[in-house]
Structure 1
Amino acid sequence: MRLPHEHLISQNLSAPLMRSINGIGLLNLIREHGPVSRASLAKLSNLSKPTVSSQVETLMQRGWVVELGRGESGSKGGKKPTMLTFNANAGRLFAVEIAAWHVRLAAADLEGNILARLALSIGNDRRAANVISLAKYGLEQLMSGHPCSADQRVISVAAPGRVDVVRGIVLQAGNVFNWQNVAIREELEAAFGTTVFVDNDVRMAALGEVQFGAARGEQDVVLVKLETGLGAAVINRGQLMLGSHWAAGEVAHMLLDHKNTSTDWSVRGYLESIVGADRILAAAQDAGSTAQTALEFLHTARNKTGPERDLFDYIATHLGIAIANLIVVNDPAMVVLQSALLGALEQELRAAVERLVPWETRIEISTIGDEAVLLGTIVAARRQAYEHIARLFENGGQQSTEFGMPVLTER
Structure 2
Amino acid sequence: MTSGTPRTLRTLNEGAVLDALFRHGPLTRPEIEQLTGLSKPAAARLLLRVEEAGVVVRDGERASRSGPPAQVWRANPRAALVAGITVTAERIAAEVCDLDGSPLGEASADNTVTDAAQIAPALRALLEAALTDCGADVAQVRDVTIGVPGVIDPIPGVLRHSGRLPAWVGVDVIGLVAAELPGTTVYTANDVGLVLIAEAEFGAARDAASVVLVWVGSGIKAAFLRDGELMLGPHGSAGEIGSVIVPAFDVVPDRSSERSRAVPGGGVLLEQLLQPSALQALELPAIADRLAVAVSSAAALLDPERVVIAGSLSDAYGTALADAVQERLGFLPHDRPDVRCGELGARAQVRGAVCLSQRSARARLVGAGSLADVVLPVSAR
TM-score after normalising by structure 1: 0.74
Q: How does 1:67-78 map to 2 (within 5 A)?
A: 67-68=58-59, 71=61, 74-77=64-67
RMSD: 3.8
Q: Please tell me whether the aligned partners of residues 79 and 376 of structure 2 are also in contact (alpha carbons under 8 angstroms).
A: no
Post-superposition shift, 1:323?
1.2
Q: How does 1:378-393 map to 2 (within 5 A)?
A: 378-392=354-368
**What is the SS of the residue equivalent to 1:225?**
strand
1:139 aligns with 2:120: no
**Alignment correspondent of 1:371:** 347
The residue type equivalent to 2:34 in the other structure is K
Q: Please tell me whether the aligned partners of residues 214 and 221 of structure 2 are also in contact (alpha carbons under 8 angstroms).
A: yes
240-249 or 147-156: bigger deviation: 147-156
Match of 2:293 among 301, 313, 321: 321
Match of 2:259 among 261, 264, 270: 264
Post-superposition shift, 1:245?
0.8
- Would the alpha carbon gap of residues 55 and 263 (structure 1) be closer, same or farther in structure 2, given more than 3 Å must change? farther
1:399 aligns with 2:380: no
Structure number with greater CO (CA < 8 Å, separation at least 6) is 2
> Matched residues in 2 for 1:267 and 1:391: separation?
50
> Matched residues in 2 for 1:240 and 1:20: separation?
30
Q: Please tell me whether the aligned partners of residues 62 and 72 of structure 2 are also in contact (alpha carbons under 8 angstroms).
A: no
Percent sequence identity over aligned pairs: 24
Post-superposition shift, 1:82?
3.6
**What is the SS of the residue equivalent to 1:323?**
helix
Q: How does 1:116-265 map to 2 (within 5 A)?
A: 116-122=105-111, 133-145=121-133, 146-148=135-137, 150=139, 153-174=142-163, 176-178=164-166, 179-193=168-182, 194-256=184-246, 264=259
**Alignment correspondent of 2:73:** 84
Q: Please tell me whether the aligned partners of residues 91 and 111 of structure 2 are also in contact (alpha carbons under 8 angstroms).
A: yes
> Matched residues in 1 for 2:247 and 2:13: separation?
53
Post-superposition shift, 1:77?
2.3
Post-superposition shift, 1:368?
0.9
The residue type equivalent to 1:38 in the other structure is R
Post-superposition shift, 1:26?
3.3
TM-score after normalising by structure 2: 0.79
Count of aligned pairs: 359
Long gaps (5+) in structure 2: none
1:276 aligns with 2:267: no
- Would the alpha carbon gap of residues 37 and 139 (structure 1) be closer, same or farther in structure 2, given more than 3 Å must change? same
Post-superposition shift, 1:316?
4.5
**Alignment correspondent of 1:301:** 282
> Matched residues in 2 for 1:41 and 1:390: separation?
15
The residue type equivalent to 1:272 in the other structure is E
The residue type equivalent to 1:157 in the other structure is I
Long gaps (5+) in structure 1: 1-6, 284-293, 304-311, 404-411
Q: Please tell me whether the aligned partners of residues 128 and 137 of structure 2 are also in contact (alpha carbons under 8 angstroms).
A: no
1:40 aligns with 2:21: no
Q: Deviations over 1:181-207 (max 9, x none)?
A: 122211211111121111111111111
Q: Please tell me whether the aligned partners of residues 151 and 401 of structure 1 are also in contact (alpha carbons under 8 angstroms).
A: no
Q: Deviations over 1:265-310 (max 9, x none)?
A: 5999932233233xxx2x4xxxxxxxxxx5xx2xx6228xxxxxxx
> Matched residues in 1 for 2:325 and 2:101: separation?
34
